C-alpha cells in the first residue's frame, strides 16, 4: 500500500479513535464505585447550598483519579447550576494568575486579558459572581505537587479557601489530586487550619480489573471482533506489570494503527508485537 493509498484509505477498524485518548472520559467507569461515592458525598453539601468538603484524591499514576474527577464533575454540572466545578492541570498552570484565569474562563466562558488587568480584579470578578449567583465552587487541582515546585501552593489554597472572609457567603472547596500525601506537611498552618481534607484512596488496578476496563474501551473504540480476548489478556498483563493502565490503552491504539497499515480488519499477534516494540 503506497502513501496515497494509506492517506485515502476509507476503511477503518476504529469506531471512535478518541476512546484511546488520555483525556477520554468513558461512559462506563469500572472498579471505582466506592471512590465515586466518596467524591459524591464530598460534593453533596455544595448541591444543598453549603461548602464542598475539601478532599485529597490520592493514588499512583494511572489509577483513574483524573477520570473520576471529570466524571463526577460532569454529573454535578448535568444536574445542578448551583455548583461551579473547575478542573485545573497544575503541570500546565502553576501561577496564581494562570490558575485563576482557568477559573475565570470556566465561569465567564473566556479568558481574562493577559496584560493590563491586575490579579485582584480577576479574583474579585470570580468571587463576586459566586456571591451574587449564590453558587458554590470546587476547584480540582490535578498534580498539585507542581504548585509546591513553583512555591505558589499556599497562596493559591489560601485564595480559594478563605474567599468567604472578604466575600460573605462565598462557599469554596478544593480537591487536591496527587500521588504523594507528603504535600500536606508543606502547607502553612493557616492553610491547613481551613483545608482539613477527607482522603479518597485510589489503589492500583489488578490485572483482571485492567482487562475489564480495556475490554470496555475496546467496545467504545473498535468495531466488533477486531481483537481477541487472548491478545487482550496479554495487553492487560503488560499494563499490570508496568502498573500503568494507560500503557494498555496506548497498546490498543498503536496495535490498531499497525493493523490498519497492514490493511487487516483484525489486530493480530504481529501487530501487538510491533506495538510493544514501538512503545517499550
* Cross-strand bridge partners of residue 136: 83, 171
The reported pTM is 0.91
Q: Residue 269: enclosing H or E segment and its boundaries?
A: helix 269-279
Cα distance from N-terminal residue to C-terminal residue, the chain:
27
Contact 141, 90 (CB under 8 A): yes
Give the per-residue pLDDT at 3.
41
* Burial class for 160, CB neighbours closer than 10 Å (0-12, 13-18, 19+): buried
CB atoms within 10 A of CB 203: 14
Least confident of 88-97, 171-180, 185-194, 251-260: 185-194
Write the CB contacts of 156 (distance below 8 Å, at least 6 apart in sequence).
Answer: 96, 99, 141, 147
Segment 112-122, tens digit of pLDDT = 988 888 999 99
Write the CB contacts of 241 (distance below 8 Å, at least 6 apart in sequence).
Answer: none
Grid cell, residue 173, equals 472547596
Q: What is the mean pLDDT of residues 153-171?
A: 95
Segment 63-74, tens digit of pLDDT = 999 999 999 999
Domains and CATH numbers, the chain: 3-24+205-279 (1.10.8.60), 33-202 (3.40.50.300)
User: Is 50 exceeded by the pLDDT of residue 6?
Assistant: no
Give the per-residue pLDDT at 187.
86
CB atoms within 10 A of CB 166: 11
Give the per-residue pLDDT at 150.
80
The total number of residues written for the chain in this structure: 280
Rg, Å, the chain Cα set: 22
Give all strands of the β-sheet with 136-142 in edge-to-edge order.
Answer: 83-89, 136-142, 171-178, 55-59, 198-202
Residue 81 pLDDT grade (very low, low, confident, very high; cuts 50, 70, 90): very high
Write the CB contacts of 268 (distance below 8 Å, at least 6 apart in sequence).
Answer: 231, 259
Amino acid at each position: 500500500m503506497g502513501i496515497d493509498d494509506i492517506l485515502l484509505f476509507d476503511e477503518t477498524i476504529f469506531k471512535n479513535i478518541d476512546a484511546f485518548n488520555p483525556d477520554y472520559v468513558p461512559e462506563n467507569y469500572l472498579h471505582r464505585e466506592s471512590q465515586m461515592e466518596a467524591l459524591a458525598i464530598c460534593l453533596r453539601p455544595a448541591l444543598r447550598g453549603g461548602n464542598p468538603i475539601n478532599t485529597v484524591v490520592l493514588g499512583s499514576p494511572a489509577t483513574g483519579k483524573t477520570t473520576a474527577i471529570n466524571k463526577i464533575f460532569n454529573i454535578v454540572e448535568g444536574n445542578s447550576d448551583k455548583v461551579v466545578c473547575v478542573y485545573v492541570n497544575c503541570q500546565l498552570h502553576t501561577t496564581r494568575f494562570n490558575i485563576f484565569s482557568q477559573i475565570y474562563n470556566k465561569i465567564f466562558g473566556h479568558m481574562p486579558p493577559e496584560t493590563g488587568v491586575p490579579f485582584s480584579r480577576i479574583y474579585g470578578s470570580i468571587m463576586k459572581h459566586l456571591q451574587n449567583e449564590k453558587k458554590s465552587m470546587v476547584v480540582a487541582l490535578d498534580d498539585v505537587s507542581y504548585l509546591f515546585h513553583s512555591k505558589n501552593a499556599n497562596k493559591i489554597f489560601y485564595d480559594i479557601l478563605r474567599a468567604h472572609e472578604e466575600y460573605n457567603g462565598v462557599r469554596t472547596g478544593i480537591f487536591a489530586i496527587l500521588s504523594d500525601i507528603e504535600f500536606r506537611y508543606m502547607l502553612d498552618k493557616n492553610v491547613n487550619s481551613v483545608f482539613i481534607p477527607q482522603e479518597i484512596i485510589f489503589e492500583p488496578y489488578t490485572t483482571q480489573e485492567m482487562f475489564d476496563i480495556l475490554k470496555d474501551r475496546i467496545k467504545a473504540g473498535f468495531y466488533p471482533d477486531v481483537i481477541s480476548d487472548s491478545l487482550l489478556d496479554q495487553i492487560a498483563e503488560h499494563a499490570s506489570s508496568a502498573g500503568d493502565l494507560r500503557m494498555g490503552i496506548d497498546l490498543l491504539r498503536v496495535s490498531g494503527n499497525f493493523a490498519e497499515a497492514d490493511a487487516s480488519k483484525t489486530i493480530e499477534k504481529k501487530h501487538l508485537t510491533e506495538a510493544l516494540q514501538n512503545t517499550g
